[in-house]
Chains A and B, each alone.
Chain A
Amino acid sequence: MSIILDHVRYTYESGTTHRSDALKDISLKIDDGEFIGLIGHTGSGKSTLVQHLNGLLMPTSGSIYFDGKDISDSDYDKKELRRHVGLVFQYPEHQLFESDVFSDVVFGPRNMGLDKKAAELTAYKALESVGIPHDLFYVSPFDLSGGQKRRVAIAGVLAMNPDVLVLDEPTAGLDPAGRDEILSLIKKLHDEKKITVILVSHSMEDVANYVGRIIVMNDGMIFLDDTPKNVFAHYTELEDIGLSAPAVTYIMAALKKKGLNVDTGATTIDEALYSILGALRR
């Protein structure tokens, strides 16, 4: 179920005077089971890119292959593609519409053609996996807290059992506790269901602890595509394009400068802690 993007270019308002290239020549391969962080500042094209992954936007030129098939073929079943690639938009709680939580989550699987029983079963599982307690299943989604609403909205996409889960800024507007809750939930889903996860964010701090690969976008192009460790090593270049490495990277670089023999490649607080303790012990 790999996704391959081959020289994808996307132009908004093509054919008029207000044209602007949102994506310029993107080539990318996403393998099964990867956990990818897609990073870039506002307007770098990351939201445009993820909308290509499930065929909401089609490339102006270039092609996208899902599972070896070109999705711009006229006989390609886009509905099927959307079942495989679940896309959770920014502020997904704004798309809730049903009178109770459970019916809202059932909406997706029902659209996929599942019968009532099967749809309810997968909705039930999805709600359980995002940690919504049973007594909230039949309350109005509008009565929930912000974090709960967001989890219900994510469950709405999860209920379709996607093989690839794309989340566009899932932590936007949440407090630190809510942010950690959502991120560890996503991590859990990735580990337990073995699905591919693409996490879109503008914050390195958010993704550093979770992902195995980081794709940095700038001005519609891929700027860096590597492991977190290697990406953060370029922290001065990241600053040039308006991003920053996690605070840990800066502390480790500063300590190294002061003469302490620490590992500057540490990306998480725990790694940094062990590295500093180790260096002090020596």
Chain B
Amino acid sequence: MIRDITLGQYYSTESVIHRLDPRVKLVGTLCYIISLFLIKNPIGYLVAAIFLAMVIWLSRVPVKFMIRGLKAIVLLLLIAGFFNLFFTPGEPLWSWKALTITKEGIVTATTMVLRLMFLIMGSSVMTLTTTPNNLTDGMEKGLGFLKLIKVPVHEIAMMMSIALRFIPILLEETDKIMKAQIARGADFESKNLIKKAKALVPLLVPLFVSAFRRANDLALAMEARCYRGGEGRTKMKPLIYKKRDAAGYLVILLYLVVCIYIGRVIKL
């Protein structure tokens, strides 16, 4: 029942995008998001769409999985679309009672919805093609320069990977405790809201206790293996830039330049 939730949504397959250094993918995603706010005309959106389609095609992840990410924000898309469509002041095209559709409204609503969709799909590409561990590794190394201003980059990355690692464990634990309490007659399917909240106590208390116990055990195990933070720590699989990563950066740069060019020069 509860196992249907997918959080680490990595899609395992072989592709150029999968093999790219996580830092390239992080920078790429960031640039793509920035580009979405730079472009202001249809040609820009066309370029962004083509770029995204190309990356998705290269990643060999079925488009179905990209769409799945969109499902979570359907409501947000609808609300954003609705308010922009009906409540943007400008040249009226159609009106009924309090609702008025303006030319400007259509333009803002479409750009808003497209921007959000591209945003989610663009970042889905990253999470679908990079394992959570690789992602935190990439963040740790990519943000390493922040150490100079005393930001504990390694510690933050370590916390992130531990948190990610614990998600499936805690899900399994939840499933187990839920079953045990159902066996004792607990009712998790009640429609009554107060009853529902009350029913969570026998689930949450043991879950928290077990999370603390696991955290304690992990801390002990880490200390027993002489873990003492990031200073001087080496990695089994250090991130090293390869030729394809340079190519990746080049493509991203090219894309950014094109976007800026379209935004600045071509006026429609």
Residues of chain A having any CB pair with chain B under 8 Å: 51, 54, 56, 79, 82-83, 86-87, 89, 92, 94-97, 107-108, 111-112, 142, 156-157, 160
Contact = CB atoms under 8 A, between A and B. Distances in A.
B209 A157 contact: no
Interface in B217-236: none
Q: Is the interface of A mostly helix, strand, loop or mixed?
A: helix
Contact of A56 (B182, B206, B209): B182
Interface string B171-183: 0000011011111
Contacts of B186: 107, 111
Given A89-B176, A89-B179, A108 B209 contact: no
B183 A111 contact: no
A120 to B, nearest CB: 16
A56 B202 contact: no
Given A51-B179, A56-B182, A95 B187 contact: no
A122 to B, nearest CB: 13
B238 interface: no
Given A89-B180, A95-B177, A95-B180, A82 B185 contact: yes
A26 to B, nearest CB: 20
B46 interface: no
A97 B185 contact: no
Given A89-B176, A97-B201, A160 B206 contact: no
Contact of B185 (A83, A89, A142): A83
Given A82-B183, A89-B180, 18 more contacts: A56-B179, A82-B184, A83-B185, A87-B180, A87-B183, A92-B180, A94-B177, A95-B177, A95-B180, A96-B206, A97-B206, A97-B209, A107-B185, A107-B186, A108-B184, A111-B184, A112-B185, A142-B209
A88 B55 CA distance: 51
Contacts of B182: 56, 82
Contacts of A97: 201-202, 205-206, 209
Interface in B167-221: 176-177, 179-187, 201-202, 205-206, 209-210
Nearest to A157: B184
8 contacts: A82-B182, A87-B180, A89-B183, A92-B180, A94-B210, A96-B206, A107-B184, A108-B184
